[in-house]
């Protein structure tokens, strides 16, 4: 039952111009939002304007984003001076970036550590300059290596580099992870190893982690991966052969940029009193997140399973392998995508027991064409249903939820996630208040994809998002 307050909210939403939520000209990388790229980020002005709007309709002492990714909503909560802020994600790199984004640093101390780091790195770069400049040619000639091959250099890079370092009396800790040579050339591995070694000497943990975020961002830029893509594809062999990035230059550039981002953030938040907690639970469980705690939920769950939509784990893999976060094994890093939404397999069929007629109709269509793909779709929405249930438990009675979602196409069948969420939510004491439609002018996504996985068949990907507003009753 809609209250008078809800009706007034709906009236105000209805008065906004049709393009109000597009934010086409808005800056989306300001403050600490811009310290590290991350796939399919919900642009900051969405949560900023939701918070600003809802402060007129309810008291907001607590904010939760159960799919917090790299921490956009958390930063906006701090900018709005919300006292109790919480995020949750299962991707270790997302957690690391979020913690760095939301930690207010001592600028004087940060500047001092950066200058000291630059001094140490400049000395190391001078010491090893000849080795860095010549290592690619030296290894190629000495061992007849092909740096574009997955075998040979690609799979045995660690052994070749250890030999080179021993022969040239270079004392460096070279990382040893699967296919390191496939993704990085010798010069790049040596340079990154030098940088990491010096960053780890910083004693202030918060500052060290903040600079490690810059290190992570530079890894993406100096690797052999094709940039601008979420999935992990290597650039063509001829490009790998010619690729020779200046690793120290790229790292210093990002460090200087991120120093400015922290300055902007501190200037804006002022004497901030927000408490930020970041959980690492599965969103289908949220065991460590307190119940009946949050006035406002703002979140954007994945659009579908990682295998066929955004591969967050693949995007994060190289950074995780270099950073050694949380003592993760190589096997655990390679399995990140399988732990995300829709990871369970229903290849041989499933019993549709989710309370959504819209979903049932779509699954019936897809099942007729491809049972395995229908199983993938069902697996994702089964997890989404569990997440909605658990997130409802975390929401205070009378609290509002804003779900930013996209409606994807599978086998030419449009999956109306906005309507499906509304239908699933009813059983968990959640009432749909309103749905906002917005164009997507600035989310990095392919303009075409294959809805059938058949070569040559393409459809336009989603160009709209939907913000589903729910209220716990």
Domain residue limits, the chain: 4-92+272-472, 107-264
227 vs 129 pLDDT, higher one: 129
pLDDT of residue 393: 98
CB 431 within 8 A of CB 369: no
pLDDT tens digits for 66-121? Answer: 999 999 999 999 999 999 999 999 999 999 999 999 999 999 999 999 999 999 99
Distance CA 439, CA 26 (A): 14
CB 388 within 8 A of CB 396: no
Closest CA to 405 of 447, 357, 437, 375: 437
Contacts of residue 403, Cβ cutoff 8 Å, sequence gap at least 6: 299, 300, 301, 418, 421, 467, 468, 469, 470
Quick check: 428 pLDDT over 80?
yes
Contacts of residue 68, Cβ cutoff 8 Å, sequence gap at least 6: 74, 87, 88, 89, 94, 98, 278, 299
Whole-number percent of the chain with pLDDT over 70: 95
The overall average pLDDT reported for the chain is 92
pLDDT of residue 150: 84
Distance CA 150, CA 153 (A): 7
Quick check: 299 pLDDT over 70?
yes
Quick check: 307 pLDDT over 90?
no
Closest CA to 68 of 38, 27, 45: 38
Taking the CB of residue 239, how many other CB atoms lie within 10 A of it? 12
Distance CA 139, CA 186 (A): 8
Strand partners, 376: none
pTM value is 0.93
pLDDT of residue 1: 83
**Per-residue confidence band for 377, with pLDDT thresholds at 50, 70 and 90:** very high
pLDDT of residue 330: 85
Q: C-alpha distances in angstroms, 361 versus 367, 422, 425, 467? A: 10, 15, 18, 22
Distance CA 332, CA 317 (A): 10
pLDDT tens digits for 170-202? Answer: 999 999 998 999 999 999 999 999 999 999 999
Return the sign of the alpha-carbon dihedral for residues 201, 203, 205, 209: negative
Using a 10 angstrom Cβ sphere, with 0-12 exposed, 13-18 middle and 19 or more buried, the burial of residue 225 is buried
Residue with tokens 């290849």: 347
CB 136 within 8 A of CB 186: yes
Closest CA to 187 of 147, 228, 239, 235: 147
Task: Work out the average pLDDT over 287-307.
Answer: 92
pLDDT of residue 445: 45
pLDDT of residue 29: 93
Helix, strand, coil shares of the chain as percentages rounded to 5? 50, 15, 40
pLDDT of residue 446: 46
DSSP letter at 204? -
**Per-residue confidence band for 457, with pLDDT thresholds at 50, 70 and 90:** low
Strand partners, 460: 448
**Per-residue confidence band for 442, with pLDDT thresholds at 50, 70 and 90:** low
pLDDT of residue 447: 45
pLDDT tens digits for 123-135? Answer: 999 999 999 999 9
Which class in CATH covers the domain with range 4-92+272-472? alpha beta
pLDDT of residue 454: 54
pLDDT of residue 296: 98
Q: Average the pLDDT over each of 58-72, 188-202, 368-382, 444-458 and give the range with the smallest value.
A: 444-458
Write down the H helix ranges in 329-426: 330-334, 357-369, 371-394, 417-425
What Rg value do the Cα atoms of the chain yield, rounded? 24
Quick check: 416 pLDDT over 80?
yes
Whole-number percent of the chain with pLDDT over 90: 81
Closest CA to 400 of 49, 12, 57: 57
Task: Work out the average pLDDT over 258-276.
Answer: 95
Taking the CB of residue 106, how many other CB atoms lie within 10 A of it? 13
Q: Nearest 5 degrees, angle CA 119-CA 122-CA 124?
A: 110
pLDDT of residue 343: 81
**Per-residue confidence band for 272, with pLDDT thresholds at 50, 70 and 90:** confident
Task: Work out the average pLDDT over 50-71.
Answer: 98
């Amino acid at each position: 039952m809609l209250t008078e307050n809800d009706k007034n909210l709906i009236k105000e939403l209805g008065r906004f111009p049709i393009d109000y939520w597009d934010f086409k000209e808005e800056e989306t990388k300001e403050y600490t939002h811009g310290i590290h790229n991350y796939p399919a980020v919900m642009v900051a002005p969405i949560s900023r304007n939701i918070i600003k709007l809802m402060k007129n309709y309810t008291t907001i002492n607590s904010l939760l984003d159960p799919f917090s990714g790299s921490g956009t909503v958390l930063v906006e909560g701090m900018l709005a001076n919300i006292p109790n802020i919480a995020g949750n994600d299962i991707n270790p790199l997302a957690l690391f970036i979020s913690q760095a984004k939301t930690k207010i640093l001592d600028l004087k101390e940060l500047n001092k550590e950066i200058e000291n780091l630059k001094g140490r790195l400049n000395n190391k770069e001078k010491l090893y300059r000849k080795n860095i400049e010549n290592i690619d040619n030296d290894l190629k000639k000495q061992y007849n290596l092909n740096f574009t091959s997955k075998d040979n250099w690609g799979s045995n890079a660690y052994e070749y580099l250890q030999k080179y370092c021993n022969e040239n009396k270079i004392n460096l800790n070279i990382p040893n992870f699967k296919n390191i040579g496939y993704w990085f050339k010798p010069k790049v591995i040596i340079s990154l190893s030098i940088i990491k070694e010096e960053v780890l000497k910083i004693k202030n943990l918060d500052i060290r982690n903040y600079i490690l975020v810059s290190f992570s961002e530079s890894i993406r830029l100096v690797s052999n991966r094709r940039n601008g893509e979420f999935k992990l594809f290597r650039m063509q062999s001829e490009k790998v052969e010619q690729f020779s990035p200046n690793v120290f230059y790229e790292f210093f550039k990002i460090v200087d940029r991120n120093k400015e981002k922290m300055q902007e953030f501190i200037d804006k938040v002022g004497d901030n009193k927000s408490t930020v907690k970041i959980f690492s639970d599965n969103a289908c469980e949220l065991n460590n997140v307190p119940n009946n705690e949050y006035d406002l939920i703002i979140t954007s769950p994945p659009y579908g399973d990682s295998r066929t939509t955004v591969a967050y784990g693949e995007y994060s893999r190289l950074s995780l392998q270099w950073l050694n976060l949380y003592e993760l094994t190589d096997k655990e890093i390679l399995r990140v995508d399988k732990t995300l939404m829709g990871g369970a397999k229903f290849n041989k069929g499933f019993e549709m027991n989710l309370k959504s007629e819209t979903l049932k109709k779509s699954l019936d269509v897809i099942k007729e064409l491809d049972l395995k793909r229908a199983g993938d779709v069902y697996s994702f929405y089964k997890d989404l249903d569990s997440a909605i249930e658990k997130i409802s438990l975390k929401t205070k009675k009378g609290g509002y939820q804003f779900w930013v979602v996209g409606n994807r196409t599978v086998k030419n069948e449009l999956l109306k996630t906005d309507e499906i969420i509304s239908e699933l939510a009813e059983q968990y004491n959640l009432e749909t208040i309103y749905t906002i439609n917005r164009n997507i002018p600035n989310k990095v996504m392919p303009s075409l994809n294959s809805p059938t996985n058949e070569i040559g068949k393409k459809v336009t990907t989603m160009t709209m998002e939907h913000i589903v507003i729910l209220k716990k009753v």
